[in-house]
Amino acid sequence: MSDEYLFVYGTLRQAFALPVHDVMMRHCQFLALGTLRGRLYQVDGYPGVVELPHCRGRVAGELYRIIDKKELFKLLDDYEQCSAKYPEPHEFIRKQADISTYDGAVCQAWVYFYNRAVSGLVRISSGDYVCHMRDLRKIRYNIAR
């Protein structure tokens, strides 16, 4: 049986230190930083990535090796509201995509893709949600002074 991988690009990244990340870490192991081809959008208080395999845009994130697939996806499908508990069409769908790591490796990993129209959403041109949120905090801080 070969390894399977998970790629996260938003609030599940380590920098956000959310409790769900700690639970996620019981079922997978961090491997590397990486990117996928696509465009990142600010949906609400979270991002959504739209897969565009032939575009030049890259979305930054973290690659994990899955230890317990059943438990991991039970947790994350509920977190992303794409489990059977939620009405369809789901806002996110889970599917595999090519992930490039910074050391040049490429692998297939599970990714939660945004599954709705992006018209009216703000595109995060950097492709990095952590940097985007840090920049927003700087702007808010500067305005408040």
Residue 143 confidence (pLDDT): 41
Question: What pTM, to 2 d.p., does this model score?
Answer: 0.91
Residue 54 confidence (pLDDT): 82
Please list the ranges in the chain whose pLDDT falls under 50: 139-145
Residue 95 confidence (pLDDT): 97
User: Taking the CB of residue 142, how many other CB atoms lie within 10 A of it?
Assistant: 8
Let me know how long the chain is: 145
Residue 138 confidence (pLDDT): 58
